[in-house]
Every structure is written in structure tokens, then in C-alpha cells.
Amino acid sequence: MYSSESTQFDINDTVVIDQDTYASTVDVDLHNVIIRDNAKFYIDEPIRVWKLSIGEDGTLGYLIFQQIEGITRGNPSVLFYDTYGEDDSKLVLHRGSIQIEETFGSMSESGRRYIMRGDIRFRVTTTSGFKPKLFSLEDIEHIEIFDLHPLMSFIDEDNNYRDLYLGAISSYTPSTSISISSYKIEGGRATWNKFKHSEGKEFTITGKIPRLQDDVFIERLEHIAEVNQRYSPILLVTENYTGYCLITGIDQSVTAPTVADYSISCKRVREAYE
């Protein structure tokens, strides 16, 4: 139980959305919310939640931002509320999708109307066996996401879900000159085009990692690029980009006694696979 002069709630309180529901008709304030049983949860007003799980126990769930007349930049929105500052708030992706529904009105020129934000910082996590066919990020360019813990989610050789935290991201730079390398079966490597992907946008992210950890970190990145993304693209979560991508290049440099810099060249891929 958490309590203050203005707020009292049990962080274990759970609201299950198991039928089509509008946010304006149910109290989810500072609760754990589970969307399941093929239910659609329409965000038609701002909500604050502790944790939001889309799909659970093998069922599908759908989070749908609904467009409404007179919408403002922060409405509708989802705020992930972390009372204790321990980064426990999270968006959990199981099965289903995040969608934009253009029901009323018209999009602004930028189209950036729908917001996910953490009170401190929040995490996007996935479940074991996460693959694009199980979850779709539809029309994600119309959702602004802030205050994330940047990470990569991927499938290991034992088909288990894993996260790699990227540390502090320094920059996000679109690129037009990246070429994808293809490995041959010889030598234990397979081609990346084993699964089909679109000719998506190319970009580079740079970040920092403490010295003494940098060699292991780079080796882990190389392993993800050369082995893990054979079978499924990775889910990259940053404040600049959230979606599936392929790693096309990795670089490393040392500019300070205690900090190493790294860069990851990526190529955005289609959110749905055959």
C-alpha cells in the first residue's frame, strides 16, 4: 500500500480489460491494467497506470488510441506512474497490437498527437518467445514515447526472451549510406534475409558504456547481430525510435579514461512478417 497526503492506493490492484472498453468508462488510475481475451481498450482520455500489459495467457489484447475532436498534444495519453522512483512502471507486450484509430477529426500536419510518458522513467518489456507475429506496433509514428529505459529485446538460441540495456543514448542520426552485409551459411552464420523485410529507414544511435564493461557489451551486440537476428528482428526501444530493426553495423571508440562510446547502425523493418 502506498499513501501520501493526497494519494492512497495498492500497487497490486489490477483491472482486467476483457471486453471492448473505453478509458473514460473505467477507473484505471494508478493500477495494473491487463488487456486480454481479444479486447480493445480505447484511449479516449488521459490515463495514469502503474503497469499496462497488452495480451496475457496466450490471448490477444489491443491498445487503441482514439482520435477525438478538439484533441490536444497531451490528450489522449498514457502516463506510466512510478511513485517510488524505482522504475517499476512498465508497458508489457505479450500478444496483440498498439494502434491508432482515426475515428473523428483529422490528423495534424505532424500527426504527433498520442503520448506515452513515464513519471520517472518506464520500461517496455516483452515476454518469452517475443516475435513480431505475436505483437504489432501499428502506426507507431503517430505515438510519441518519452522517458524510456533504452534497450534491445531479442530471442536467444534457446528461444528465450532477453533484454540488453543500452545505457545512456547520446544521439540518433538518420543515415542514407548504410549497406546491409549478408553472411553465408559457411562458418556457422546465416543470411539476414532469411526473413523478409522492407527497405526501411536507416539510422544510427550512439551511446556510452563504462570502461571495463565495453568489451563484453560490444561482444554481446555482435552476437545479437550475427546470431540472434537470424530468426527474428530485434525490438529496439529508445525515445527516438521504438520498433523492429536489423543491426547493420557496430563501432566502438574510447574518448575518456572511464567511458567508451559505441554506435549501432540499424535498419527499420516491417512490423508484420510472413
Nearest to 50 by CA among 118, 144, 145: 118
Cα-based torsion angle of the residue sequence 227, 249, 232, 269 in order, rounded to the nearest 10 degrees: -170
- In this prediction the pTM is 0.76
Instruction: Tell whether omega for the bond before 46 is within 30 degrees of 0, i.e. cis.
Output: no
pLDDT (tens digit, 0 to 9) for every residue of the chain, 274 residues total? Answer: 333 333 344 555 899 999 999 999 999 998 999 999 999 999 988 899 999 999 988 899 999 988 665 555 556 789 998 766 666 788 998 899 998 876 544 445 455 467 888 888 888 887 755 666 778 877 776 777 888 888 888 888 887 778 888 888 888 887 655 454 545 444 444 444 444 444 567 899 999 888 878 888 999 999 999 888 877 788 888 888 888 888 989 998 887 788 889 999 998 876 544 3
Burial label for 258, CB within 10 Å (0-12, 13-18, 19+), is exposed
